[in-house]
Amino acid sequence: MKKAMLCLLICTVAVMAGGKTVYDFTLNSIDGQPAPLAAYKGKVVLLVNVASRCGYTPQYAALESIYEKYKDRGFVIVGIPANNFGGQEPGTNQEIKMFCSSKYNVTFPMMAKVSVKGEDTTPLYQYLTDKAANPQTGGEIKWNFTKFLVGPDGRVITRFEPEVTPDAPQVATAIEKALSSLKS
């Protein structure tokens, strides 16, 4: 009986999680305003947990470059600062915003700092890393600049680990493929 109840519970959670998309979540913008991800419905979105003092921080330049290249075709990057790895994002939201605009001329949307790992993980990242909801792309965030490519339906298409740069051929191919699914 206990096994049956456990199985039923697991199946229920999987079914409930399976119906969610990234559009069910709201973050705060870097300026502190509610930023529902539903605003990006119908677009291809790259969600990236970012940090200002990381060995991967120069990826901001490539992120801005691919944003500029594809934004007019329905592509958006959402930068999500997190201080979960080595204290590499210690600043306030205002300091992060200033750093991104002055050092890398970031124009893509930036969110307020959140936690992407641990007991205080923000609900969006609980969903993104949930293996039941996202069997192909779920799993713990290992470091800054993990990238989740999301289709126009709000479902995660693929995940790129930090060492895969935003301008890598496999990223461009995945973005192009996702963009080709958009209605003109």
Distance CA 116, CA 113 (A): 10
CB 115 within 8 A of CB 107: no
Structure confidence by residue, pLDDT tens digits, 78-124: 999 999 999 999 999 999 999 999 999 999 999 999 999 999 999 99
pLDDT for 4:
44
Amino acid at 156: V
CATH architecture for segment(s) 27-180: 3-Layer(aba) Sandwich (3.40)
Structure confidence by residue, pLDDT tens digits, 145-172: 999 999 999 999 999 999 999 999 999 9
More confident residue, 181 or 22: 22
Catalytic residue numbers read 54
Domain spans in the chain, listed from the N-terminal domain onward: 27-180
Strand partners, 134: none
Sheet holding 156-160, edge to edge: 75-81, 44-50, 147-150, 156-160
Comparing CA positions, the residue from 91, 1, 88 lying closest to residue 49 is: 88
Structure confidence by residue, pLDDT tens digits, 30-63: 999 999 999 999 999 999 999 999 999 999 999 9
Give, for 84, the enclosing helix (H) or strand (E): none
Distance CA 135, CA 128 (A): 10
pLDDT for 18:
53
Structure confidence by residue, pLDDT tens digits, 65-91: 999 999 999 999 999 999 999 999 999
Amino acid at 98: M
pLDDT for 1:
55
pLDDT for 181:
87
Distance CA 28, CA 113 (A): 9
Mean pLDDT over each residue of the chain, to the nearest integer = 91
Give, for 143, the enclosing helix (H) or strand (E): none
10 pLDDT above the threshold of 70: no
pLDDT for 158:
98
